[in-house]
Structure 1
Amino acid sequence: MSRELTLRIYSAIVLAAIVLTATWLGGFAFRLLSVLIGLLVYYEWSRMTQLAESNMRGHAFGWFSVSVIGLNMLFGSPDLTVPLLAGLVVTAILPSIAGNWRWWQVGGIFYSGLSAVSLAAIRGEDSVGFAAMLFVFAVVWATDILAYFVGRAIGGPKLAPRISPGKTWSGAIGGTIAGVLGGTAVALAFFQSVGLWIPVVALLLSVAGQIGDLFESFIKRRFGVKDSSHLIPGHGGVMDRVDGLVFACFAAFFLAVGFSTFGKGAVTSLGAFLFGL
C-alpha cells in the first residue's frame, strides 16, 4: 500500500469519526461543525477564485458575511438565519451589478452560507433530524463510492468531458442506483415502513450530489487549480470532499421548505417531510 493511499485512508477515518460523532450529538456540536464547514468552504472558494487579489473590500465583506451567519447559527435566533443570509447576498449583489465586485463574490457568500445553513437545518435538534441526516449521508456516500468503482469497471461514454474527463455515464447511473438503495436502507433501519417518496427523494439527492461534484470541477477547471486546498492530508480541500454533500443538502433543504410552504404547511424539516412526522 502506497504512502499516499495510507494517508487518504487515515484521513477518511478521522473525518468520518468527527462527522458521525457530531451528527450523533446534534445540537451545538453539529451546528459548530456546519459553521466550520461553511467558513472553510468560503476560504477555499475565495482562494480558488482569487477574490482577495481582485477586490479586498469585497473579500472582507465575504468573511464578514459568513462569520455573521455562523455566529447567529451558534448563538442567535434560528429564525433569523435564512433572512440574514438572503440580506447579505442581496447586499453583495448591489456592488456586483455596479461592476465594483465580481459575481464570484456573491456566489461565495451564497454557496458557503447555504452550506452551513442547510446542513444544520437538516440535522435539527431531534432524533428525526438524526435519521434525515444519515439518510442524506447514505445517499451521497453510496453515490460517490459506486460511481467511482462502476465507472472504472465499465467505462463507456463520458458524462461531461469538458468539465470532468474521468466521469462516465455508467458511473453516474451506477452511483445513482446505489444512492437510492443506500438512502432507502437507512430509512428502513429507522422505520418499519416508509413512503414511496423515499426512493424518489434519494434519486433527486443523488443527482443533485453529482451535479455538485461537476460544479466544483467546473470552478477548478475555470481557474486552473487541481485541488480546492491542501487542508485534508491525501484528500485536497474541504470542498473536494463536501461538494456533492452540500448540493444534496441544498436540494433537501429547498425540498423541505417548498413542501412546507406549498404542501401540508406543518412540515418544517426534511425529517418530517421524509418520514411523515
Structure 2
Amino acid sequence: MMNATQEQAVVETSVFWDIKTCPVPPECDAGVVGRCINRYLKKLGYYGPLTSIAVGLLTDVPDDVLRRISSTGIVLNHVPLGSIGILRSMNAWKQTYPPPTNMMLISSDESILPRIRHSCGYNIFRLFPYDSTNAWKRFLLQDSGEDKCSVTPESAYWLCSACPDHLVSQGYEKFTTHLSSLEHQIKANRVELEAVAETWVVWDIKGCPVPPGCDVRRVRPCIEQYLKDFGYSGALTITAVGLLTDVDEDILRAVSSTGIILRHMEFYSGDISSVLYLRPRPSTYYHGPIRNSWPRLLAIY
C-alpha cells in the first residue's frame, strides 16, 4: 500500500468493512477495529475526515459485537445480497461524495473491488491482499491500546440499505428495534424480490444520444454492467424510444443488433408514462438516474 499523495492526505476517506468475510476474531475486542483503522491510515499519511462503515447482513452478527462497534463511532449499514449489496452501497456512496476522495475496502471477497476500481478520480484501495487469510486478525492483534476510541451513549448513526428509502438514524436500540420490526421485514423482502425481477430500461435516444466517437453497440453492455453494480440481476429489457425518423439509420441498426427494442413515438412525458406501465408486474422500471450522467456512464463501463 502506497502512502497518500498531498491531495489524498487531506480529503475525505470512507472505509467499507465487510463484516461477514472479515469478522471480529473471538480473541479480539470489537472496540479496537476503529482505532486500528484510524492508526493505519494516519501511518500512510491520510489525515482527512474519516468515516468507517460496517456493511453486511448485520442480523447475522452477534448483538454484543454490533453494540461495541457502534459505541466506537463506526457506522452500521445493514446490507442484504452479499457482495452485490456492498458494491451497491459503495456505488451509492460515490454519488454523494464526488472526487477527489478515498475509499478503502476491508474484505476477503475478491469480486468487489475490481468492479468499482474503474471509477475515475477516486483513490480506491484495499487493506490487505485477498490471499492473506490471517492478515485481518494480525491487523487487529497489533493494537497497542493507545488512542482508544471514545464511547458515547448515542453511538454512531446507522443505515438500513435493505429498506427502499435507505433509512438513516442514530442510537443502537433504535437500530435493533427497526431490524426486528414488521415494516422492515416487508420492505427488505421487497428489495430482495426487486433485485431478481425483470428490469425494463426506457432510453430516450433523442434526449440522451450516443456521444460522438462512442460505439453504439456498447450501450447495452454499459447499461447491463451499471445495473449489475447496483444489484439488479434479473432479466433486462431495454427500449429506445423517441422520434426515430430523426435518428441516423446506421445508429438504429447498430442499436437493434444488440437486442435493444426500437419504439417510434412522439416523445413527451405522457407517452413515456404509457410505455412504463405496459409491462406486467413484478418489474423494475429504470429510467431516471442514468440520464443525468449518460456520457460518463458510456465512458466508464
Task: Output the TM-score relative to the length of structure 2.
Answer: 0.22
Higher relative contact order (CA 8 A, sep 6+): 1
The structure with more helix, counted as a fraction of residues: 1
- Bigger CA radius of gyration: 2
The structure with more strand, counted as a fraction of residues: 2
Task: Output the TM-score relative to the length of structure 1.
Answer: 0.24
